[in-house]
A and B are shown apart, each in its own frame.
Chain A
Amino acid sequence: MKVVIAGYGMAGARLARELGLRGAEVTVFGAEHEPAYNRVLLPGILAGTHAEADLSLPAPPAHVDLRLGEAVTSLDTHAREVNGVGYDAFVLATGAEAALPPVPGLDPLPRNVTVFRSMADCRAILAAAEGRRRALVLGGGLLGLEAARGLAGRGMDVTVVHAAGHLMERQLDTVAGDLLAGTLAALGVSVLTNVAVSGVEGDADGVRLGLGDGRVLEGDLLVVSCGVKPRTALAESAGITVGRGVVIDDQCRTGDPAVYAIGDCAEYLGQNFGLVAPAWEQADVVARVLTGTPASYQGVRPVTRLKAGGIDLAAMGSLDGEEVVSYVDAARGTYVRLVIEADRLAGAVLLGDNPTTGQVTQLFDHGDPVPRDRRTLLLGRAFGEPPRPATPAAQPDDAVVCRCNTVHKGALVRAYAKGSRTPNELSKATMAATGCGGCAGDVAAICGWLRETAPAGELTEVNA
């Protein structure tokens, strides 16, 4: 089985490695000169929390023929040849590219204006930011906000300009969007929503963003983050069916049975998420299918996650449904909104310090029933704190003081009455505190309490 892969991004690299480890013969064409890197962490490059080397991905085994800096220019599906290399199976992993909104002055990108999609883009942004203070970001979606947060983390004043009424309007409701804007403000990012853009100018002095109401925003650089579009030209040129992305079935096969597509360039059941989780799952499916193990792509419901210095946001699924449970603590910037359908989680938004994020995400992923007491998902560990230990006096006789040896309070009281008058003597008589020793303090407290409260007459009597 000879496999040729077009594209060496996160999906292509994963597939090349998985196929290579399974012993398949693989050739990979990558348009960029650099080895595959972890695109998810690009905001860390902007923020300075990650170095470029931190983003490198595991390399495929040595026998994989890796051709970097070599874009696919010819595809012949009849002869089954790519750039002159014959194949039994060809996989499109060409990814997506930044989309540019139809704003005058944006195409071609003027000076000090960049998109945010690749390592090269990051380098360009950082070069433009060097020694400057004011950054503009066009687009208040996930990537735009990650760029804004990263640049603010470097001490820049950042303004996000967003066309819709609130941030990340496809993933968040108004409350969450507004709270998020508040959180960002505290981190040095101003947000303008409901703003139309009339034009962009950029030159050596900086950039000017014309707004619909006639105002002009000035900055030293502008990052444009207005979505992505799948790279489908190669598939189209070969006559392969393309919707928004290259249309695939649950084996990730395109209309041509020898051609597969995975990742950001692919479209499954009308959906193209542009996220890594489905891309990797698709890569794993293709690796198995091409090496003779049955597999099918189940589809992954997307979870949008923003976790970067001071921001903790998770959003998934529907924003509305038959049952909505929510909790908002604006002062702490904390918000949870759960959408429940038929006892299952249909969607959720979590913003701020929510210890239940992992639990909620797994309920959504697995379709498990939600807890009967929804509050456990809203408040997590803040709810159900263990009660403070009772004072010796208040504890019932059958309270277990020493777990290791199952010694009850009553046994200590009786031992005291029989003459064990120090914590050590109590331990000897009852075995309390001889295991892990964790209850030594409790034994001492009970001893002290008995000493203070036990009637003197009783003690004398026993001693006698």
Chain B
Amino acid sequence: MEQSTRNARARAVDTHCPYCALQCGMTLTRDAAGTVAASPRGGGLCQKGWTAPELLGHPERITTPLVGGEPAGWDEALDLIADRIRSAQAQFGPGAVAVFGGGGLTNEKAYLLGKFARVALRTPNIDYNGRFCMSSAAAAGIRAFGVDRGMPFPAADLAGADTVLLAGANPAETMPPFMRHLAGRRLIVVDPRATATARQAELHLAAAPGTDLALANGLLHIAVERGLLDQAYIVGRTTGFAEVARTVAAYWPARVERITGVAAADLYRAVDMLATGPRAILTARGAEQHGKGVDTVNAWINLALALGLPGRPSSGFGTLTGQGNGQGGREHGQKADQLPGYRRIDDPAAREHVAGVWGVDPDSLPGAGPSAVELLGMLGDEVKVLLVFGSNPAVSAPRSLSVHKRLSVLDALVVCDFLPSETARLADVVLPVTQWAEEEGTMTDLEGKVIRRRALLAPPGQARSDLHVLSGLAGRLGVTEGFDPVPRKVFEELRRASRGGTADYHGVTYERLDAGEAVHWPCPDTEHAGTPRLFTDGRFATPDGRARFVPVEHRAPDEPRDGEYPLHLTTGRVLTQYQSGTQTRRTSLPGEPFVQIHPDTAARHGIAEGATVRVTSRRGDFTAPARLDDGMRTDTIFAPFHWPGANNAVNDALDPISRMPEFKVCAVRIHPQEETP
């Protein structure tokens, strides 16, 4: 950085970190020697962001198309893919080709990918890894508020809150700069583990995995008992409270204590902390990645509504989106049941509008497709060809070993990536794509703010944007119009396609963003300032303008622990790694897989610190070194999911509404792994 300021030939751009949904502002500079450095722009940056430039010139960078593992030209690779698509579709119909997207793709890529599937492939079979991430919170938000914007207010508003409850969220580890917004707030953290975030909390509620719903219902029960409800708000802005009141009447403290393991006295403490002042309740994957994830989030929303929080200053309910474009990526049509603008694909009006923008017959658009886990389950059967963009399901999907096998029996697996992920290694064709510092586009951060990603560098070798891949394939499949691979042009079309939708981007332009404006959706026209705060007028995005209370009941995890598999396994992230680790495992950041175990549990199994542990579930197993931690519950072990392994074991039981797999709790047994000499 010092060198760059001294060197007249240096270049710099203002962009954002390539990793999580916080999308920290980042200045990228390049010195005379071509070395790229990152530095924070205004806010914070954690070590993932600081080290991101290491991947730009990484020796494993894919810079040329690979066919059967051998370098090939673009035309050769795209011709081959188009051939495979045509022959699979000719033999088995349009659905024989499927698309798997990612929550890290720019809005432009996510949009064009959804259009490509519906218009060029005409397949209903498209979903994305956000299904593993935000689908439960999204469904719950839509049920309660009629809209899903992760945080319906700017994160900076949290600075004005007295108390913040984090349910299954560990931002100190997963998005450290977010903690700046929580500095000085009284924190209540709900997590089975004593995480880095829980250790900063005034009150840590170490609920057993899979019991957050009962906990939330129990807190609402106490809030009723304590007379803390905002009756005017409930009467004036919501519907359905009476049934929720009857439901939570059955969650008296002693019962909730028994289900969750959280002392009744601590339940009362939590409610006392939430009694007055600006208060916010935030969930993340710990609450959401369950077979009852949607209901769990609704339980927390019920509490927030009963206390009268959503729409009030520095108050409300939000969910912490995970992936870089986890918000924008779930709005523009790479989701199985969705069209751009957060429209539903089964809504005739939505189909007509979007088909109009696309210049196609509404009846030609396929209907809703299967969710991610179900789609992966079709590979090799109904689905013969799979195109993967910005995702690594061989590591990130539940029951990952069987996903691995299914990926291997396809007629063609095509993977667009810039590094040889585990999925790319299985591919028949790998297409080299750009990474963040080499491309233009927009992302939408965790608070619904549309931001610009800007290029510092030209792509290396033959690498091209995913937009070029879609354009090249669409043309080969006979769709020559409407797939111009220019980000700004794609965004212009996205604006029109999203117009009038829930996530309305019509008023967002590159010009406004480049002029430094912060624009949150919905933004219906270019004169509109955007909507940083939703619900402030007391109205919600439901047909009658009222928020919905949803009565929800606790039920046990899909796979309770038992004599054979006596421990719960839960999974999550660590500070130095990101998602399936394709990127961060290749940086200088420290990190190796581990299994976190309470010392008593380890001792009973003859496991010492650092010893290799084999973790076995009914679906599969993995090994990793033991890390002993007395902040663990004795009935629960933890493994990060950044390495191949942990997801072999996790449960692929699905939430009936969001189709979210139950990543966060399954039954396992552990053994010391015999060392082979």
Residue of B nearest to A312 (CB): B265
Q: A49 at the A/B interface (Cβ < 8 Å)?
A: yes
**8 A Cβ contacts from B586-642 to A:** 590, 599-600, 603-604, 630, 634-635
Q: Are B225 and A49 in contact (CB under 8 A)?
A: yes
Q: Are A384 and B199 in contact (CB under 8 A)?
A: no
A176 to B46, CA, bound (A): 52
What residues of chain A lie closer than 8 Å to B575, measured between beta carbons?
Answer: 403-404
A369 to B176, CA, bound (A): 36
Residue of B nearest to A58 (CB): B246
Q: A305 at the A/B interface (Cβ < 8 Å)?
A: yes
Q: B155 at the A/B interface (Cβ < 8 Å)?
A: no
User: Given the interface contacts A358-B262, A369-B634, does A405 sit within 8 Å of B257 by beta carbon?
Assistant: no
A404 to B44, CA, bound (A): 10
Please count the residue pairs between chain A and chain B whose beta carbons lie under 8 angstroms apart in the complex.
137
Q: A324 at the A/B interface (Cβ < 8 Å)?
A: no
Q: Mark B176-194, 1 if CB is under 8 A from A, else 0.
A: 1111100100000000000
Q: Which one of A104-112, A161-169, A359-367 is at the B interface?
A: A359-367
Q: Mark A274-313, 1 if CB is under 8 A from B, else 0.
A: 0011000000000000000000000000010101000010
**8 A Cβ contacts from B121-137 to A:** none
User: Given the interface contacts A277-B255, A358-B262, A369-B604, does A38 sit within 8 Å of B634 by beta carbon?
Assistant: no
A353 to B260, CA, bound (A): 18
User: Given the interface contacts A403-B172, A438-B200, does A357 sit within 8 Å of B257 by beta carbon?
Assistant: yes
Q: Are B249 and A55 in contact (CB under 8 A)?
A: yes
Which of A38, A56, A371 is B252 in contact with, Cβ under 8 Å? A38
A25 to B171, CA, bound (A): 49
Chain B's nearest CB lies how many Å from the CB of A419?
Answer: 12
A28 to B63, CA, bound (A): 72
User: Given the interface contacts A38-B249, A431-B50, A437-B44, does A355 sit within 8 Å of B263 by beta carbon?
Assistant: yes
Chain B's nearest CB lies how many Å from the CB of A386?
Answer: 7
A341 to B225, CA, bound (A): 38
Q: Are A403 and B604 in contact (CB under 8 A)?
A: no
Chain A's nearest CB lies how many Å from the CB of B99?
Answer: 36
Which of B46, B245, B590 is A435 in contact with, Cβ under 8 Å? B46
User: Given the interface contacts A54-B249, A56-B246, does A436 sit within 8 Å of B177 by beta carbon?
Assistant: yes
**8 A Cβ contacts from B192-206 to A:** 196, 199-200
A346 to B428, CA, bound (A): 60
A437 to B177, CA, bound (A): 7
Q: Are A434 and B263 in contact (CB under 8 A)?
A: no
Q: Are A372 and B263 in contact (CB under 8 A)?
A: no
What residues of chain B lie closer than 8 Å to A40, measured between beta carbons?
Answer: 252, 254-255
Chain B's nearest CB lies how many Å from the CB of A50?
Answer: 6
Q: Are A54 and B183 in contact (CB under 8 A)?
A: no
Q: Are A362 and B47 in contact (CB under 8 A)?
A: no
Q: Mark A422-464, 1 if CB is under 8 A from B, else 0.
A: 0000000001001111100000000000000000000000000
A403 to B263, CA, bound (A): 31
Q: A354 at the A/B interface (Cβ < 8 Å)?
A: yes
What residues of chain A lie closer than 8 Å to B177, measured between beta carbons?
Answer: 404, 435-437
Q: Mark A31-49, 1 if CB is under 8 A from B, else 0.
A: 0000000101100100001
Q: Which size bracket describes the interface of A in this complex?
A: 35 or more
Chain B's nearest CB lies how many Å from the CB of A418?
Answer: 12
Q: Are B172 and A436 in contact (CB under 8 A)?
A: yes
Q: Are A58 and B635 in contact (CB under 8 A)?
A: no
A186 to B200, CA, bound (A): 36
**8 A Cβ contacts from B487-527 to A:** none
Residue of A nearest to B247 (CB): A58
A49 to B252, CA, bound (A): 13
Chain B's nearest CB lies how many Å from the CB of A22?
Answer: 14
Chain B's nearest CB lies how many Å from the CB of A442?
Answer: 13
Q: B224 at the A/B interface (Cβ < 8 Å)?
A: yes
Q: Are B590 and A406 in contact (CB under 8 A)?
A: yes
Q: B261 at the A/B interface (Cβ < 8 Å)?
A: yes
Q: Are B199 and A386 in contact (CB under 8 A)?
A: yes
What residues of chain A lie closer than 8 Å to B249, measured between beta carbons?
Answer: 38, 41, 54-57
Q: Are A361 and B257 in contact (CB under 8 A)?
A: yes
**8 A Cβ contacts from A56-110 to B:** 56-59
Q: B240 at the A/B interface (Cβ < 8 Å)?
A: no
Q: B157 at the A/B interface (Cβ < 8 Å)?
A: no
Q: A368 at the A/B interface (Cβ < 8 Å)?
A: yes
Q: B114 at the A/B interface (Cβ < 8 Å)?
A: no
Chain B's nearest CB lies how many Å from the CB of A371?
Answer: 5
Q: A190 at the A/B interface (Cβ < 8 Å)?
A: no
User: Given the interface contacts A357-B263, A437-B179, does A366 sit within 8 Å of B600 by beta carbon?
Assistant: no
A386 to B200, CA, bound (A): 11
Which of A41, A371, A405 is B47 in contact with, Cβ under 8 Å? A405
What residues of chain A lie closer than 8 Å to B252, measured between beta carbons?
Answer: 38, 40-41
Q: Are B253 and A44 in contact (CB under 8 A)?
A: no
A403 to B176, CA, bound (A): 9
Residue of A nearest to B1 (CB): A428
Q: Are A358 and B261 in contact (CB under 8 A)?
A: yes
Q: B258 at the A/B interface (Cβ < 8 Å)?
A: yes
Q: A420 at the A/B interface (Cβ < 8 Å)?
A: no
Q: Mark A305-323, 1 if CB is under 8 A from B, else 0.
A: 1010000101000000000
What residues of chain A lie closer than 8 Å to B263, measured between beta carbons?
Answer: 354-359, 380
User: Given the interface contacts A403-B575, A436-B44, does A307 sit within 8 Å of B264 by beta carbon?
Assistant: yes
What residues of chain B lie closer than 8 Å to A58, measured between beta carbons?
Answer: 243, 246-247, 250, 551
A431 to B245, CA, bound (A): 50
Chain A's nearest CB lies how many Å from the CB of B50?
Answer: 6
Q: Are A368 and B254 in contact (CB under 8 A)?
A: no
Q: B40 at the A/B interface (Cβ < 8 Å)?
A: yes
What residues of chain B lie closer than 8 Å to A303, measured between beta carbons?
Answer: 254, 258
Q: Are A359 and B47 in contact (CB under 8 A)?
A: no
A307 to B256, CA, bound (A): 12
What residues of chain A lie closer than 8 Å to B46, measured between beta carbons?
Answer: 404-405, 434-436
What residues of chain A lie closer than 8 Å to B246, measured between beta carbons?
Answer: 56-59
A56 to B200, CA, bound (A): 39
Residue of B nearest to A300 (CB): B258
A435 to B253, CA, bound (A): 38
Interface hub of A312, A405, A431 (most chain B Cβ within 10 A)? A405
Q: B414 at the A/B interface (Cβ < 8 Å)?
A: no
Q: Are B183 and A435 in contact (CB under 8 A)?
A: no
A359 to B207, CA, bound (A): 10
Q: B45 at the A/B interface (Cβ < 8 Å)?
A: yes
A49 to B208, CA, bound (A): 29
What residues of chain A lie closer than 8 Å to B76, measured between beta carbons?
Answer: none
User: Given the interface contacts A59-B246, A434-B44, does A357 sit within 8 Å of B265 by beta carbon?
Assistant: yes
Q: Are A353 and B180 in contact (CB under 8 A)?
A: no
What residues of chain B lie closer than 8 Å to A435, measured between beta carbons?
Answer: 44-47, 176-177, 179
Q: Are B635 and A57 in contact (CB under 8 A)?
A: no
User: Given the interface contacts A312-B264, A312-B265, A435-B46, does A404 sit within 8 Å of B176 by beta carbon?
Assistant: yes
Chain B's nearest CB lies how many Å from the CB of A197?
Answer: 30
Q: B83 at the A/B interface (Cβ < 8 Å)?
A: no
Q: Are A371 and B260 in contact (CB under 8 A)?
A: no
Residue of B nearest to A44 (CB): B225
Chain A's nearest CB lies how many Å from the CB of B227?
Answer: 8
**8 A Cβ contacts from B148-187 to A:** 171-172, 176-180, 183
What residues of chain B lie closer than 8 Å to A55, measured between beta carbons?
Answer: 249
A58 to B199, CA, bound (A): 38
10 cross-chain CB contacts under 8 A: A55-B249, A276-B255, A354-B263, A355-B266, A369-B600, A371-B634, A380-B263, A384-B630, A404-B46, A435-B47
Known: A355-B263, A371-B600, A437-B177. 17 other contacts (CB 8 A): A40-B252, A41-B249, A50-B225, A58-B247, A312-B265, A358-B266, A359-B261, A359-B263, A362-B258, A365-B258, A369-B600, A386-B199, A405-B47, A405-B50, A435-B177, A436-B46, A436-B171
Task: Please list the residues of chain B having a beta carbon within 8 angstroms of any beta carbon in chain A.
Answer: 40, 44-47, 50, 171-172, 176-180, 183, 196, 199-200, 208, 224-225, 243, 245-247, 249-250, 252-255, 257-258, 260-266, 551, 575-576, 590, 599-600, 603-604, 630, 634-635
- 5 nearest A-B pairs in the assembled complex, by CB-CB distance: A436-B179, A305-B254, A404-B176, A435-B176, A436-B176
